[in-house]
Amino acid sequence: MVKVHAQQVGPEKALVDRTELQRLIDVARQVEEVELIEVQDDLPSEGLMRLAQEGGSFSFLADLREDVYTLNDLKVRYR
C-alpha cells in the first residue's frame, strides 16, 4: 500500500509533495507507461484565491473601525 498526502486546493485539484508524486508515478509505471506533463505556475490560481478567502489575512476589514472613508472623502465620483 502506498500512502499519499495531498492538500485539496479546488474542486478538481490537489497539491502533492514532489516525493509523494514520484512514488505515485513509480507505482503507476509498474502497471503501464506513464507520461508526466508538468505545468509551471507559481501558485495555482484556485489555491491562491482559496488562501486569500480562508486564510484570514483580510478578516480585519470586517471590523467597522476599518471603515474610515465616506462619500464626502471622494474628490471625483465615477459612475
| Phi, psi values for residue 14, rounded to 5° | -145, 150
Helix (H) or strand (E) holding 48: helix 45-54
Distance CA 62, CA 69 (A): 14
pLDDT exceeds 80 at position 21: yes
| This model's pTM is above 0.85 | no
Distance CA 26, CA 32 (A): 10
pLDDT at 30: 94
Q: What is the pLDDT of residues 29-77, one digit of tens each?
A: 999 999 988 877 666 777 788 788 888 888 888 888 888 888 889 999 8
SS3 state of residue 75: coil
3 versus 40: the higher-pLDDT residue is 3
pLDDT at 27: 92
| Alpha carbon 26 to its chain's center | 26
